[in-house]
A = this chain, B = another copy of it.
Amino acid sequence: MAETRAPDSTRRSERSRRAIYDAALALVGEVGYAKTTIEGIAARAGVGKQTIYRWWPSKAAVLLEAYVDLGAQANEAAGGDADSGIPDTGDLEADLKLVLRATVDEMNDPKYEAPTRALAAEGVVDPELGARFVEELLEPQLQLYVTRLTAAREAGQVRPEVDLRVALELFVGPLTHRWLLRTQPLTHAYADKLVEYALHGLAPR
């Protein structure tokens, strides 16, 4: 409905919205999901809590939108635009390494790390929040891999019988495992190895 407002009001709304996102992410990163409240977000953002309730029905809804926005910002910072998906230069291996290296950088960015860990941890033990997280945030990102792998299959670079929704997990699964559980350093060299091993297999050719 912002279109029907005067420009000044739209700008003010946009500023408030951004302040609410920032406050929500900072707070959840500091105190965890369970202890984050609408009141706390409102106080930190310098808005009334009715402003938040007018735009979002729940804490989960604010946070999910804030994460979507954070992802869009990261994408813009990486030089892409929100809808561009995974680049297609015709070289699948190079394109996957590029996107996985960018994912590694995002996972290692403190601005991203604390709030995303807090949300992921809550999703692990709260099936309802976990399902929203997957449906609204994760699955749309995973579908970008399906799109890129479909083009690669059409170009003869992926075996025709491969289930592409499973295939992408060979890249995304290990990266997330290493990030969430902190088993070993999360580096570009690791991202490159994952792509090489997944595309060409561990067995001798």
Contacts and interface: CB of A to CB of B under 8 A. Distances in A.
A163 B122 CA distance: 33
Interface in A131-187: 131, 133-134, 138-139, 142, 149, 156-159, 162-163, 165-167, 169-170, 172-178, 180-184
A117 B123 contact: no
A197 interface: yes
Interface of A: 32, 92, 117-118, 120-125, 127, 130-131, 133-134, 138-139, 142, 149, 156-159, 162-163, 165-167, 169-170, 172-178, 180-184, 190, 193-194, 197-205
A182 B133 CA distance: 10
Which of A158, A165, A183, A202 has the largest count of B CB atoms less than 10 A from its CB?
A202
